[in-house]
Amino acid sequence: MALSSLRYYAGWSDKIHGDTIPVDGPFMTFTRKEPVGVVGAITPWNFPILLNSWKIGPALTTGCTLVLKPAEQTPLTALYLASLVKEAGFPPGVVNIIPGYGPTAGAAVSKHMHIDKLTFTGSTEVGRLVSKDAAESNLKRVTLELGGKSPLIICADYDLEEAAKIAHQAVFFNQGQCCCAGSRTFVEAGIYDKFVEKAKELASKRTVGDPYENSVLQGPQIDQEQLDKIKELVASGKTEGATVECGGSQIGSKGYFFQPTVFSNVKDHMRIAKEEIFGPVQQILKFDTLDEVIERANETNYGLASGIITNDINKALTFAQKSQAGSVWVNCFIEVLSQAPFGGYKESGQGRESGEDGLADYLETKTVTIGLETKH
């Protein structure tokens, strides 16, 4: 995916241009697309190579220079990318990697008076902080790709086993550490019990351990802080009355491993149905009608992604139109493509990454108007 993104944006290098605009009066008017300048990028730890590439590609193809601050949990991948940049022959100063902690290195980027644009991927909480820094410094342009609590709707008209597999991968992919994970699984009432059994079966079979072993599907969480957050939210689900179908506990005392967990009988008011867990925890909710579930799916502060599993094209298109999310997947999930824009509604961010739309915030549009001599 990282290579795909870099190759895609490399192809844009000679295709970015302005327009000639017919205007009133004796004038010729055209626009120029110019690089915004120095780009500051702050990236998270969950997909370090991919998300760093999402910043590097559009910055370079638009003619900007880049100062990239990777997550403190995953600095080595970024430093290796820096070595590849040097090996490829980029001039010094075009791509700059500065590892460090958020309150120091990250804040230096977001507050810097000579950085013209800030692109941030991470939590909504930190997104607010960097936006404030940008506003209080030089009003630098900001794009944000933030958290999510994405709904996935399972309709009774679709093959149950296949639907369960899609929903399983939607939430357990990358140990559940995915901003657009389908972490609210809404299942139509008529198939709810059978779906829960299938979800439980898939989660129970998921092997956890050393991710370098071919048989292992789930490795550890990123660190103790994230593990503790998962444990605390899972405990809240138990306290609030959800049913633990499987999992629900840390594995052993060494490392940051957590059992693949499935909750049933989840209600909308529960914390596990509202807050981003960022771990291997599936919440399964029941619904009766499409109109009802669309309203419930949209009842969230987030709007990064959503999905529906159905054989009914009318249901699919109705959901796609009414869903308040930047990406809507039908009969699939987490299909993030280099050629298509990705980003969120509401508190899931602003601006877009990937695709042609991902270029816009790296460019300034300059309007040039020339007065033409008129002869009488």
Catalytic annotation, residues = 145, 179
**Cα dihedral 48/281/303/133 (nearest 10):** -50
What's the half-sphere exposure (Cβ side, CA atoms, 13 Å) at 120?
28
Element (H, E) at 75: helix 75-88
What's the half-sphere exposure (Cβ side, CA atoms, 13 Å) at 123?
12
- Contact assessment for residue 342 and residue 359, using Cβ atoms and an 8 Å cutoff: no
DSSP 95: E
Q: Locate tokens 């802080």: which residue?
A: 225
DSSP 78: H
How far from chain centre, in Å, is Cα 328?
13
Element (H, E) at 117: strand 117-121
Q: Locate tokens 């870099």: which residue?
A: 6
